[in-house]
Amino acid sequence: MVAGRYLIVNADDFGQSYGVSQGIIEAHEHGIVTSASLMVRWPAASAAAAYAQKHSTFSLGLHFDFAEWTYRDATWVCQYEVVRGDDPQAVAEEIARQLAAFRLLVGRDPTHLDSHQHAHREEPFRSALIQLARELAIPVRHFSPDIRYCGNFYGQTGTGAPIPEAISVDHLTETLEGLAPGLTELGCHPGYGHDLQSMYCRERAWEVKTLCDPRVRQVLSAERIELRSFSQLTGS
């Protein structure tokens, strides 16, 4: 018997700005987004958390925010740094602060863990988040063996050059048609970037449009891919 295919569509950066949150909510209510990851340090985090509290089927994880890097003048430049990666104690304290902030805002534990610009793929963030995920009994992106991560729905190259075709309906269709059996998390960054300072802005609105396109739902149905959320995995 062929195993089923299940898809979590998770929107990063929820709460980073009101425009980003607006786009994520639109992609959830009118598109295929099932989950989001909250950035607790930003001014729009409280409103984003309030939305999640009122929509119990919308899974909300914690998007740890340690730094942001921008590609400028042929090199990567640190736009801001919350905590230095060479100080494991400071990293542990910052993780505890952001988890406490999430609990205060949302009133419960996150359904999953990940991080801004995938910082937790490197030490000491990696070990700290894996340990926290074990303690909370929830998945952590890249390091939960039963959940495959797909990050190819992204409208820029590794150096910030635009690739709009990567967030088109045609490309998303190809991704869905090639989805392997089992559970996959598709990362995405829908939103509206008018109130955001980031190297990834106008692409967010393109993502909203694609994720809400009715043809995508038709592909899911034709391919017999079932949407899931992180809360369905953890029972949160």
Q: Point out the residues that are catalytic.
A: 12
Q: How far is CA 19 from the centre of its chain?
A: 16
Q: How far apart are CA 47 and CA 89, in angstroms?
A: 31
Task: Name the helix (H) or strand (E) containing 25.
Answer: helix 18-29
Q: How far apart are CA 231 and CA 37, in angstroms?
A: 12
Of 112, 121, 119, 127, nearest to 142 by C-alpha is: 121
- Omega of the bond leading into 88 within 30 degrees of 0 (cis): no
